[in-house]
């Protein structure tokens, strides 16, 4: 297994583990947890150049779902922060990979 794939798999497993802990302690809805898990997995399996973008847009969409459907500004805020950080790191990676 290449180091890049190993890093992506390890990151996805850690994110899913953190999600499981949040699910247990915050009592999140199973549908929301499943959707978050799908976004995490989708971000890990798409090509690396778009993985951060997929995760960021997915998390922002889930933040809107949590805010408008579930009425939870705390969970929506956390998901939005994760989405913005993911988009920002994706933009920094894309900028660094672009030749001058």
Instruction: Decide if pLDDT at 5 tops 90.
Output: no
Residue 75: phi, psi to the nearest 5?
A: -65, -40
- Domain containing 28 equals 3-97
Domain count, the chain: 1
pLDDT at position 4 is 82
Q: How many residues does the chain have?
A: 100
Mean pLDDT of all residues in 24-33: 90
**How does pLDDT run across 32-83, given as a tens digit for each residue?**
999 999 999 999 999 878 888 999 999 999 999 999 999 999 999 999 999 9
Q: Are 15 and 41 in contact (CB under 8 A)?
A: no
CA–CA dist 13, 19 (Å, integer): 10
pLDDT at position 49 is 81
């Amino acid at each position: 297994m290449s180091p890049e794939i190993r890093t992506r798999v390890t990151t996805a497993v850690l994110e899913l583990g953190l999600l499981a802990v949040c699910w247990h302690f915050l009592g999140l809805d199973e549908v929301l947890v499943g959707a978050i898990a799908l976004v995490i997995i989708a971000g890990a399996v798409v090509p690396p150049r778009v993985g951060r973008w997929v995760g960021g847009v997915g998390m922002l969409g889930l933040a809107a779902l949590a805010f408008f459907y579930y009425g939870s500004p705390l969970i929506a805020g956390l998901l939005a922060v994760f989405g913005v950080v993911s988009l920002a790191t994706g933009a920094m990676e894309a900028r660094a990979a672009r030749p001058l």
